[in-house]
Amino acid sequence: KQEVTQIPAALSVPEGENLVLNCSFTDSAIYNLQWFRQDPGKGLTSLLLIQSSQREQTSGRLNASLDKSSGRSTLYIAASQPGDSATYLCAVTPGSNYQLIWGAGTKLIIKP
């Protein structure tokens, strides 16, 4: 059974710092992995999608990497800003079906 874990559960850093969020999964047989952002009480915004054949994806100040063999993905945020404060969730699409399996998220606070 696929399980997704995100560590740490919460992170607080000063504005301007570069930071890394971690996501691990137990079964390497995945179609893809997605990173999402969720603002309090709101829906989910898709940030990056990495296909199983890819190693990384970049969008602006965000870079996501995928290492299937070790069951890990990282989301790198460069030059963090207070507007980056949100909960960041990762989700994998298993190889056996198309539903998303989620981590519990990392709550990120960027201090001005």
Residues that bind other proteins (CB under 8 A): 4, 31-32, 34, 36, 41-46, 49, 51, 89, 91, 93, 97-105
Q: Which is nearer to other proteins, 103 or 110 (CB)?
A: 103
Structure tokens at 83: 């507007």
Instruction: Compute the least distance from the CB of residue 94 to other proteins, in Å.
Output: 10
Instruction: Compute the least distance from the CB of residue 69 to other proteins, in Å.
Output: 20
Could you count the other beta carbons within 10 Å of the beta carbon of residue 51?
A: 13
Decide if 105 contacts 6 (C-beta within 8 A).
yes
Instruction: Compute the least distance from the CB of residue 12 to other proteins, in Å.
Output: 17
Could you count the other beta carbons within 10 Å of the beta carbon of residue 3?
A: 12
